Amino acid sequence: MNRRIGNLFIVLAVGLLGLIAMTTYWQVVARSSLEARQSNVRLVYRDLAIDRGSIVSSDGVTLAESKPGTLDGRTVYLRDYPTGGLAAQLVGYSSLLAGRAGLERSLDPELTGSTGDLAGVINSFDRLKGDTVRGDDVILRLNAAAQKVAMDELTKLGVRGSVVVLDPSNGGILVMASTPTFDPNTGLEQALSDPGSPLLNRATQGLYPPGSTFKVVTAASALDAGLVTPETNFPGPSCIDSGGQKLCNFRDRAYGPHSFGYALVHSINTTFAEVGADLGKDQLEATMRGFGFFSRFPWDYPPEQSLPSGIFNRRGNLIDPSAPIDVPRIAIGQERLLATPLQMAEVAAAVANGGQIVQPEPVQEVRAPDGSVVRRPSPVYLGRAMTTETAATLRELMKQVVDEGTGGAAAVAGLDVAGKTGTAETGTAGKNDAWFIGFAPAESSRFAFAVLVEDVDGTGGDVAAPIAAAVLRALTAQTT
Amino acid sequence: MPDRGFLRLPARNRELALIALALLIATTGFAAVQLARAQEFAASPLIAAAFFAGAYLIAHLVVRITLPDADPYVLPITAVLTALGLIEIYRIDATLARDQGLWIVLGLVLFVGVIVAFRDIRRLETLRYTCGAVAVGLLLATIVLGSEVNGARLWIRVAGLQIQPGEFAKILLVIFLAGYLRERREVLAAPARKVLGIGVPALRHSLPLLIIAGASLVLLVAMNDLGSSLLFYVIALAMLYIATGRLLFVGLGAGLFALGAAAALQITPRVQTRIDGWLQPWADEQAQCCYQITQSIYTIADGGVLGAGFGRGLILNSGGGTIIPYAETDFIYSVIANELGLVGATAVILLYLLLAWRGFRIATTADDGFSKLLAAGLATAVAFQVFVIVGGVIRLLPLTGLTLPFVSYGGSSVTANFAIAGLLLCISQRANRERA
């Protein structure tokens, strides 16, 4: 019987040793591949161990910060957004539930201290040791007071829309508002399925027909090509025939003979359609490229949240360069031309900036936990959209738009505002996308802006220009 | 500590030295958890450690008086295992640890009771049919009166306590089989006639074995748990093999069970779910089949070679519950593997291997058939239970609802395993004294 007892022991011993072998497999062989699995909740907890840096506005308002809590005896950091929906689309979110978006996503390496430089490598050792890693703080160019005015103005009207204000000298994003908004602390789950798409950053992801604001681009193209001067004369019928279809002025108004400059100030469609036809497809598209159309701005923001503007086909993709387009209608900002508010703010900034296109820049500086400055972005010029002379000419004409043209409602006491209105047909009768783009002061500009309001009865001059004025007042009150 | 001269020490002094070592491990472990989680717990654990030490020292003294020649390793092994379990349970929930401490003390009381009552192990042999009847009664009671916990019908409520009668029925069944097989092993081994060239024993002798096979399958369906029925069946087959030496019985039995189990699976959805989770755990990690097992594997893998350290792993979620459901019972091995790493997990398995080795060694040194069968049966029960539950949480086998002996939280499990330890010591006392 003892031999059989020995045999049984050997069988059971082999089984127990098999347990050790399998445990070794999980803990040694398969460990790293298991750690990399997205569904491993331990990854989430590991992220919570990082004391993610704060995001603060240039005027010192905390937009995102980490608050310590306890999980299984260790300190963890949960994200809190003290200003709720104030700049929710720009700042984005870092959530266990929904992942990351906005600056929380694009600045993640700095906020978590996991950049590729020496500090990031040291942090990765701390992480292995289980020590808390403190990420860098990011100070934005955003002006929270002006952002609040922009959000309030849009919310007050109960509209979907967006306000973008750039610093034309360095591309700094001073305001980037988008409505409807959401509270990243509590409203994220609901926002994911909200039909009003509050998660959408309308400033960078919203594509709208730019309407008459695009006449600035057409004018730049024609002036640069030497096709017109501000004094060039045009007839002023109420409608013209374009490609077999009637193309009319706003409310079919007839103007009589006038100069090209007058046509921009009073937004005369027939004149710009004629200019567009003379420019031709290649010339106009070349100018558009110079302004940044047809490609994403290469800025510090998740690429899929920053769409290129341009001419789109029926399937919603940018058209082929060889595809035929209705140039006269593109020239007045209609047809299949769509632009983001950020793109139109860049158009205004280029005029204000002597023709240069500067890259949008959300960050003022990145600070290490000890307060030292890690990074302070300098302006990046992406190229020239027009000559300095053309920019100067347009600046003068756009000033007249506010002084005596369609943009009177944007006037701000003590501030020289220049701009261009736009009222784009949306396809729904009586509903327009109302635009106002511009810059201020007209000389040595500090603010270049675009205001867009979706689906309203009024015009750009009625609806969008007053919002621009309110935001400009807030900005000048802050900075003077 | 152990050196060349250690093995020449008297058995009881070796036992005392090893118990002291176990208590040192226990105290260090409690202190480590306390240091890691100082902000959460009060100063009670050192008192608990002292209480634990006292209970073990009393048990040792009783053994010293009643069973002076008994095996000196069994009790210290249980001390290390219960200490490890208690520390990890304390780390999960201090209230559960208080209960578990009480179960350990009750277990040691039962241990003392067993060694006092069955100091002469032959007294137990006369009780074999009583044991068999009580085992069947307990299992029937579980099936009839049982309540389902986590889908399995393994518990009955008595006076507000959840009792798992299967743990006790298992021991009684081993006692019955040891007595029965010693009595009948000649007739079972010597075939009465040949069927298809295979010698089979007379029906009246083999009937009880067929009953056990059938009963195990009935248990599988009635209790909705593969683990318990597999455990009972394997114990019976192992003891049959030792008694008769006929591997053919074992092979036939295993085939019979496999066929029966395959059929029974069709009517037990919970077991089916467990099989799905075993074969395809990554298919849908949040689903019922797979959540526990995938979390268990993540937890084990996270421990690595050296582990996070006592009290320093990530075991609890933000709500204070365990990330793996039932971490303190079925999945205690995963928690140990997380906090003590491969080194600690291997040590735990080796402790069970050592315990099984002592059990089988006691079986080989015993000089009567009943003692041999009883010791081997009990050692098989412990070792195979470890194999099934640990195999389940590491995905070597389908997951089942068994406890890890001496380590898992649970009164029935802890006290029943102490009874096994007591019986092993009684057998070894008789064997060693007669050899001496």
Query: What secondary structure does DSSP assign to A121-162, as a single string?
Result: HHHHHHHHHTPPEE--EEEES--HHHHHHHHHHHHHHT--EE
Rounded to the nearest angstrom, the gap between the alpha carbon of residue A170 and the centroid of all alpha carbons in its chain is: 16
Does one domain contain both A100 and A239? no
Catalytic residue annotation of A: 212
| Contact yes or no for A179/A151 (Cβ under 8 A) | yes
pLDDT of residue B434: 67
Q: What is the mean pLDDT of residues B99-124?
A: 93
pLDDT of residue A478: 65
- A366-375 pLDDT, tens digit per residue, is 999 998 999 9
| Number of other CB atoms surrounding residue A376 within 10 Å | 11
| Contact yes or no for B172/B164 (Cβ under 8 A) | no
**CA-to-CA distance for B271 and A469, rounded, in angstroms?**
70
Look at residue B411 and tell me whether its pLDDT is greater than 80: yes
User: Which of A7, A8, A10, A44 best tests the B interface by mutation, with the highest count of B CBs <10 A?
Assistant: A8
Q: Give, in order, the Cα–Cα distances in Å from B380 to each of A8, A140, A254, B217.
A: 8, 68, 103, 20
Residue holding tokens 């849908």? B284
**CA-to-CA distance for A309 and A202, rounded, in angstroms?**
13
pLDDT-based confidence at A381, cuts 50/70/90? very high
Tell me which DSSP letter residue A444 carries. Answer: S
User: How big is the A-B interface in CB pairs under 8 Å?
Assistant: 136
Which candidate from B242, B304, B394 shows the least CB-CB separation from A5? B242
- A168-204 pLDDT, tens digit per residue, is 999 999 999 999 999 999 888 888 888 889 999 999 9
End position of a domain, from candidates A140, A171, A192: A140
Q: What number of helices (H) and strands (E) belong to chain B?
A: 15, 5
Alpha-carbon gap: A297 to the closest alpha carbon of chain B (Å): 40
Enter the tokens of residue A338.
């769509």
pLDDT of residue B16: 95
**CA-to-CA distance for A393 and A135, rounded, in angstroms?**
47
- pTM for this model (two decimals): 0.71
**CA-to-CA distance for B49 and A463, rounded, in angstroms?**
76
Coil/strand/helix, residue B127? coil
pLDDT of residue A121: 64
Instruction: List CB contacts (< 8 A) between A18 and chain B.
Output: 387, 391, 396
**CA-to-CA distance for A163 and A412, rounded, in angstroms?**
17
Instruction: List CB contacts (< 8 A) between B302 and chain A.
Output: 31, 35, 42
Which candidate from B243, B364, B391 shows the least CB-CB separation from A19? B391
| Contact yes or no for B218/B178 (Cβ under 8 A) | no
Least confident of A446-450, B56-60, B214-218, B348-352: B214-218
pLDDT of residue B201: 64
Residues 40..59 of A with a Cβ closer than 8 Å to B: which?
40-42, 45
Q: What is the mean pLDDT of residues B156-182?
A: 88
Instruction: Give the CATH number for residue A60.
Output: 3.90.1310.10
Q: Which residue has the higher pLDDT, B326 or B112?
A: B112
Q: What is the mean pLDDT of residues B217-237?
A: 83
Enter the tokens of residue A189.
């789950």
Rounded to the nearest integer, the mean pLDDT of chain B is: 87
- Domains in chain B: boundaries: 124-267
Residue holding tokens 């001073």? A174
Q: What is the mean pLDDT of residues A54-82?
A: 90
End position of a domain, from candidates A92, A109, A140: A140
| Contact yes or no for A378/A387 (Cβ under 8 A) | no
pLDDT-based confidence at B195, cuts 50/70/90? low
**CA-to-CA distance for B125 and B114, rounded, in angstroms?**
14
Class of residue A451 by CB neighbours under 10 A (exposed 0-12, middle 13-18, buried 19+)? buried
Residue contact B360–A40, C-beta within 8 A:
no
**CA-to-CA distance for B267 and A152, rounded, in angstroms?**
64
Look at residue A402 and tell me whether its pLDDT is greater than 70: yes
Does one domain contain both A202 and A343? yes
Which candidate from B238, B380, B394 shows the least CB-CB separation from A22? B394
Look at residue A432 and tell me whether its pLDDT is greater than 80: yes
Does one domain contain both A121 and A167? no
Does one domain contain both A160 and A116? no
Strand partners, A166: A173, A448
pLDDT of residue B208: 65
Residue contact B360–A19, C-beta within 8 A:
no
pLDDT of residue B257: 80
User: Which of A2, A3, A4, A26 best tests the B interface by mutation, with the highest count of B CBs <10 A?
Assistant: A26
Name the residue among A101, A83, A84, A80 with its Cα closest to residue A92.
Answer: A101
End position of a domain, from candidates A83, A118, A140: A140
Instruction: List CB contacts (< 8 A) between A12 and chain B.
Output: 356, 379-380, 383-384, 387
Asked if A12 has any chain B CB less than 8 Å from its own CB, the reply is yes
Look at residue B216 and tell me whether its pLDDT is greater than 80: no
Least confident of A33-47, A115-129, A200-214, A317-331: A115-129
User: Which of B90, B322, B387 best tests the A interface by mutation, with the highest count of A CBs <10 A?
Assistant: B387
Name the strands in the sheet holding B161-163, side by side, starting at the edge strand that comes first in the sequence.
Answer: B147-149, B152-158, B161-163
Look at residue A12 and tell me whether its pLDDT is greater than 70: yes
Look at residue A112 and tell me whether its pLDDT is greater than 80: yes
Q: Which residue has the higher pLDDT, A214 or A241?
A: A214
Residue contact A8–B380, C-beta within 8 A:
yes
pLDDT-based confidence at B71, cuts 50/70/90? very high
Look at residue B276 and tell me whether its pLDDT is greater than 90: no
Does one domain contain both A150 and A103? no
Strand partners, A240: A247
pLDDT-based confidence at A118, cuts 50/70/90? low
Whether A28 is covered by a domain: the verdict is no
pLDDT of residue A317: 85
Q: Of A40-49, A131-140, A297-306, which one has max mean pLDDT?
A: A297-306
Residue contact B360–A42, C-beta within 8 A:
no
Output the CA angle B298-B304-B310, nearest 5 degrees.
90
Does one domain contain both A151 and A57? no
Residue holding tokens 């950020």? A342
Least confident of A100-114, A120-134, A244-258, B392-406: A120-134
Does one domain contain both A97 and A153? no
pLDDT-based confidence at A70, cuts 50/70/90? confident
Q: Provide, for chain A, the percentages of residues in helix, strand and coil under a 3-state DSSP scheme, each rounded to the nearest 5.
A: 40, 25, 35
Look at residue A307 and tell me whether its pLDDT is greater than 90: yes
pLDDT of residue A126: 62
**CA-to-CA distance for B268 and B79, rounded, in angstroms?**
38
**CA-to-CA distance for B336 and B350, rounded, in angstroms?**
14
Strands A373-375 and A363-367: antiparallel
Residue contact B316–A13, C-beta within 8 A:
no
| Contact yes or no for B26/B49 (Cβ under 8 A) | yes
| Single-letter amino acid code for the residue at B266 | Q
| Single-letter amino acid code for the residue at B225 | D
Residue contact B302–A39, C-beta within 8 A:
no
Instruction: Give the CATH number for residue A151.
Output: 3.40.710.10
pLDDT-based confidence at A325, cuts 50/70/90? confident
pLDDT of residue B361: 96
Least confident of A432-441, B173-182, B256-265, B405-414: B256-265
Q: Which residue has the higher pLDDT, A323 or B376?
A: B376
| Contact yes or no for A357/A383 (Cβ under 8 A) | yes
Look at residue B41 and tell me whether its pLDDT is greater than 60: no
pLDDT-based confidence at B252, cuts 50/70/90? confident
Does one domain contain both A251 and A333? yes
Does one domain contain both A159 and A186? yes
Instruction: List CB contacts (< 8 A) between B243 and chain A.
Output: 1
Residue contact B300–A26, C-beta within 8 A:
yes
Whether A90 is covered by a domain: the verdict is yes
Q: Give, in order, the Cα–Cα distances in Å from B359 to each of A215, A240, B18, B185, B363.
A: 94, 105, 18, 21, 6
**CA-to-CA distance for B358 and B346, rounded, in angstroms?**
18
Instruction: List CB contacts (< 8 A) between A8 and chain B.
Output: 238, 241-242, 360, 376, 380
Look at residue B184 and tell me whether its pLDDT is greater than 60: yes
| Backbone φ and ψ of A382, nearest 5° | -95, -5
Strands A447-456 and A161-166: antiparallel
Look at residue B256 and tell me whether its pLDDT is greater than 90: no
Does one domain contain both A359 and A213? yes
Name the residue among A340, A339, A349, A343 with its Cα closest to residue A448.
Answer: A349
Where are the alpha helices (H) located in A254-323, listed in sequence order? 260-265, 269-291
| Number of other CB atoms surrounding residue A377 within 10 Å | 18
pLDDT-based confidence at A430, cuts 50/70/90? confident
| Contact yes or no for B303/B340 (Cβ under 8 A) | yes
User: CB-based contacts of B241: which residues, under 8 Å, 6+ apart?
Assistant: A4, A8, B247, B249, B250
Asked if A36 has any chain B CB less than 8 Å from its own CB, the reply is no
Does one domain contain both A122 and A178? no
Instruction: List CB contacts (< 8 A) between A34 and chain B.
Output: 297-298, 301
How many domains, chain A?
Answer: 2
pLDDT of residue B222: 78
A441: cis peptide before it, omega within 30°?
yes
Enter the tokens of residue A398.
């756009």
pLDDT-based confidence at A276, cuts 50/70/90? very high
- B306-328 pLDDT, tens digit per residue, is 998 888 888 887 777 888 888 99
Asked if A129 has any chain B CB less than 8 Å from its own CB, the reply is no
- B346-389 pLDDT, tens digit per residue, is 999 999 999 999 999 999 999 899 999 999 999 999 999 999 99
pLDDT of residue B161: 76
Look at residue B196 and tell me whether its pLDDT is greater than 60: yes
Nearest residue of A to residue B33 by CA position? A73
Domain residue limits at A116: 41-126+133-140
Enter the tokens of residue B101.
């401490």
Residue holding tokens 């005029």? A351
Whether A29 is covered by a domain: the verdict is no
Does one domain contain both A154 and A114? no
Rounded to the nearest integer, the mean pLDDT of chain A is: 90
| Contact yes or no for B9/B36 (Cβ under 8 A) | no
